[in-house]
């Protein structure tokens, strides 16, 4: 029973930036081992908002690298991509950077939202900017919208996986209780 409580406590704690970085780089090692452009393209797509939260400039450079796959040798692309991935993680996410990511995410739903839903969304963003809620809390509030609109691109983003709060009502918390 004590072991189950320790697991539950670990699950309910937000991940540190170091743990997030380790997770991303472990996934990148898989891409390097596969040595396939399709795996790099998929990695880049899944980590777009994670990288954007660290450095929008590096995200653009990395996107250009991925797009250059027909002009450059893949081994060179991988080396450069890894270099820029490391540079991006040297920059810590800030409220401003997270807010920028959240507004990009909002773009996926803005045309489908009612006026009330838009107001609720902007209220969440304001609370986040005013530091009344955390990034984990705002993402946990956005998560149901992703599933409501069946947005598989966003549901596959490591940004949501790694920053969302595993609190009651959150899909990840529900799943962790189910399997503990």
Residue ranges covered by each domain of the chain: 2-90, 95-179
- The SS3 assignment for 141 reads helix
pTM above 0.85, yes or no: no
d(CA 105, CA 102) in angstroms, rounded, equals 5
What pLDDT tens digit does each residue of the chain (180 aa) get? 444 344 444 445 778 899 999 999 999 999 999 999 999 999 999 999 999 999 999 999 999 999 998 888 999 999 999 999 999 999 999 999 999 999 999 999 999 999 999 999 999 999 999 999 999 999 988 888 888 889 899 989 999 889 988 654 444 444 444 444
């Amino acid at each position: 029973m004590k072991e189950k409580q320790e697991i539950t406590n670990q699950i309910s704690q937000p991940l540190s930036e170091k743990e997030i970085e380790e997770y991303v780089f472990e996934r990148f090692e898989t891409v390097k081992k596969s040595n396939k452009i399709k795996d790099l393209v998929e990695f880049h797509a899944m980590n777009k908002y994670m990288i954007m939260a660290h450095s929008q400039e590096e995200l653009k450079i990395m996107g250009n690298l991925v797009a250059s796959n027909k002009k450059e040798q893949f081994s060179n692309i991988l080396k450069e991509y890894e270099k820029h991935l490391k540079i991006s993680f040297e920059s810590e996410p800030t409220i401003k950077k997270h807010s920028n990511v959240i507004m990009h995410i909002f773009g996926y739903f803005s045309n489908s939202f009612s006026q009330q839903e838009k107001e609720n969304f902007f209220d969440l963003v304001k609370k986040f900017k005013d530091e009344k809620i955390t990034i984990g809390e705002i993402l946990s509030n956005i998560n149901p919208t992703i599933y409501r609109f069946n947005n598989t691109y966003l549901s596959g983003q490591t940004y949501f996986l790694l920053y969302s709060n595993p609190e009651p009502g959150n899909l990840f918390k529900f799943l962790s209780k189910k399997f503990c």
